[in-house]
Structure 1
Amino acid sequence: MKTIIQVVQHLRPGGIETLVLDLLAFSQADETTIIVSLEGELESAIEAWPKLAPYRDRLIFVNKTPGLTPSLIFTLAKLFKKLNAHAIHTHHIGPLLYAGFAARLSSIKHLIHTEHDAWHLNDKKRCLLQRFVIKAVRPTLVADAKTVANQMQLKLQCANKINVIHNGINSQLFIPGDQCLARQGLNLPQHVTLIGCSGRMEVVKGQSVLLHALTALPDNIHLAFAGGGSTEQQLQALALKLGINKRVHFLGRLDNMPIFYQALDIFCLPSLNEGFPLSPLEAQSCNIKTLVTDVGASKETLCPESGQFVIADNAQEMARTLLSMLQDHKTYQPREFVKQHGEVRTMAQAYASLRFVGNNKAAILGDSRL
């Protein structure tokens, strides 16, 4: 049995963290996956995110202190040796910095690094640091989208080609359902048209733009938010100020996300920045038409027949496109697109195959159609 160690900065609800949990859940039969979180502590993390509970015996927290911590490299190196790690898989610059050098100190052959977005590389210091670390530890590089791979090539000046493995979701969990029952379960109104938006409530997620867009839509169109965050109260105040508070439903963090998507007529992701988001795949797997903003690799997640994208931070264009999509009564099957191009099992298999390719060899794995 081979031990694969996924290293993340923290284990709080988010796209990267959900993906890493999926890689654990869908590990290959001959592999055991362990997740190492640089920040945090086990019990408090589980309390904040109960989804972690079933995996508690596969989670290790090293409780990193704020700031640069060089000693963490040696702590991780000892941990990797103790666990007899076959491969280390890092996500984002912090884990790459610490776990990358630790993997090389431990003489671990397979070091994989996945980049989940590219917009942070616009920061010159961060970009130079990441370029240095990549040259020093020589990981096999993966981008979760072609857009990200192109930016990595441009800004990180990577010598080798970058593997592209698209993120995937569990299409056997996210399935179509009865809209009336779903709305009943969430205490949502039955006889309205419902737009849904899920994700962390932070400025970068653009929920305020969607609220402004709702003011330009007919009164029978409502909006449901799933998730929480630092801007939740501001968004509630904005809905009240705009006079649409009776049409906006704040559901908080939901553990049963399939029922949320099943309740919708359309899903909208209004982000100002993104990597390769999972929520559009989840919604479409439930056969829900989806609109995203053209940021990061968001539009790479869309079914070409039913999905639409608009420029970011433009409430008027968002409203016009949402109304057009709602008035389109054709029957679409975006679920079939997700099953073919965004399935978690395909993603997990692609990563497993990459561990047999060897470091620094070029390969394009997973779905290259997107």
Structure 2
Amino acid sequence: MERNVLLLCHGYEAPFLSVANQYAALFKNTDFRVITVFIKGQHNSEVVEQCGADEVIFLDASSKQMKGLKQQLIKKIRQLDKQYQFEFAIAHRYKSIYIASHVKNLFVIGVAHIDGVFTPLMRKLFAFFHRKNLLLLGVSKAIRDDIRKSLFLFDDEKVQHLYNSLDFQSIREKQLPRDQARQALSLPDNDYLFVNVGRLHEDKDQKTLIKAFAHARDALPGSKLIVAGKGRLETELKSLTSELGVTDKVIFLGMVPEFYKYLKAFDTFVLSSIREGLPVSLLEAFAAEQVCIASECNGNKEAISEAGYSFPIGDHKKLAEQLKKTLHLNNAERMNIVGKVNRKISQHFTESAVRQYFWSMPALKARLKK
């Protein structure tokens, strides 16, 4: 008899296609079949190929359907449950958790990717009402602790963490060598390159990074800052580079598909976010054995601890000091950092490490025994 699992995702925009693939990988070599359902987004054959599921369904929900009580979407998931008789569901982000939890008797593992998901009172009440069939995961210990703080009446065993993971061997096989990657992106051969990857958005705080780079420019000879991504702040960020006199030193690459392939082009990876769960882009930089600098927010702090450099959120002067520090690392110092990164990967972020932790969670084991 088939044992089906529902993997319910808000959409497949970056980085959530990678997340869908990560969670499908939890079921490798088991007797479970993964049915991945994307609430938003039209059918896409490339997504089907990349998400690693046994079946993929696209609901292509409208913005109107995503608002309010979401009755139409709940009805569709109930119909799928009737068809597949899911043993349990994994739901990413709050709207997916809300929809899946309205399927009668369906055990739902809800995954929170940022802090504050259960801060609103109505969400606290919702989670408490559905607590019998709900196991909540944060993508870092910091997010887990934030959920526990919000839902203090929950049993701690029902609120756990599960780190994001990558197939590091596969990622590394696809990453281009330094010179080829620079050539592919039309980047200068000999400059020292700092890189930031992410949406051009307030949460990613590229303003602090640009200010830091400008503040340290006299101590960063022969260096450039590369910003990869698109977003609503693009014009504002470009204006800031002009205002600070670093237009010729900052290159905006725009959106580059599968950017992880080109990460070896760079010398230091910088993540300046004000909030993160556990960023996939940082793990991809780890895969490229990059020296990394990250802001001390949520999951960043856990990931970068003892494996890179950090700075207080929004502090461009402290970030400037870290930029200068990484520029002047010698080869032995870099290799020492790379060794720490690789040890951290093997302990926490490989598919096998995350899979082992997932299947050992007491609340899940108790559910599967029923």
**Aligning the two structures, in what range does the TM-score lie when normalised by the shorter sequence?**
0.7 to 0.9
**Per-residue displacement from partner, 1:266-306 (whole Å, max 9, x unpaired)?**
100000111121222211121111111111221111251x4
> Does 22-31 or 276-285 show the bigger shift?
22-31
Distance 1:240 1:52 in 2: 42
**Per-residue displacement from partner, 1:51-104 (whole Å, max 9, x unpaired)?**
5554595133251424212343232111112122121111222111111112xx
Q: Which residue matches 1:242?
A: 244
Contact map agreement 2:162 2:358 (CA 8 A) in 1: yes
Distance 2:205 2:48 in 1: 27
Question: How far does residue 323 in structure 1 lie from its aligned partner after superposition?
Answer: 0.7
Q: Which residue matches 1:119?
A: 116
Q: Which residue matches 1:154?
A: 149
Q: 1:86 to 1:228 in 2, by over 3 A?
A: same
Which is richer in helix? Answer: 2
| Residues 38-187 of structure 1 aligned to structure 2 (within 5 Å) | 38-43=39-44, 51=47, 54-55=50-51, 57-64=55-62, 65-68=65-68, 69-102=70-103, 105=104, 107-108=105-106, 110-122=107-119, 127-138=120-131, 139-161=134-156, 162-175=159-172, 178-187=177-186
User: What are the ranges of 5 or more consecutive residues in structure 2 without an aligned counterpart?
Assistant: none
Q: 1:146 to 1:26 in 2, by over 3 A?
A: closer
> Does 189-198 or 306-315 show the bigger shift?
306-315
Code of the aligned partner of 2:18:
T
Contact map agreement 1:197 1:269 (CA 8 A) in 2: yes
Q: Which residue matches 1:202?
A: 201
Q: 1:269 to 1:158 in 2, by over 3 A?
A: farther
> RMSD of aligned C-alpha atoms?
2.5
How many residues align? The count is: 346
Q: Which has the higher contact order (CA 8 A, sep 6+)?
A: 1
Q: 1:252 to 1:132 in 2, by over 3 A?
A: same
Question: How far does residue 112 in structure 1 lie from its aligned partner after superposition?
Answer: 0.9
Secondary structure, counterpart of 2:102 in structure 1: helix
Q: 1:71 to 1:177 in 2, by over 3 A?
A: closer
Q: Which residue matches 1:23?
A: 23
Code of the aligned partner of 1:144:
V
Q: Which residue matches 1:193?
A: 192
The TM-score, its normalising length taken from structure 2, stands at 0.85
Contact map agreement 1:213 1:315 (CA 8 A) in 2: yes
Q: 1:280 to 1:261 in 2, by over 3 A?
A: same
The TM-score, its normalising length taken from structure 1, stands at 0.85
Code of the aligned partner of 1:254:
V
Contact map agreement 1:195 1:265 (CA 8 A) in 2: yes
Contact map agreement 1:177 1:286 (CA 8 A) in 2: no
**Per-residue displacement from partner, 1:204-252 (whole Å, max 9, x unpaired)?**
1111211111112224111112222222232223223322222222222
> Does 129-138 or 207-216 show the bigger shift?
129-138
Question: How far does residue 349 in structure 1 lie from its aligned partner after superposition?
Answer: 4.3
Matched, 1:291 2:293: yes
Question: How far does residue 174 in structure 1 lie from its aligned partner after superposition?
Answer: 3.2
Contact map agreement 2:117 2:147 (CA 8 A) in 1: no
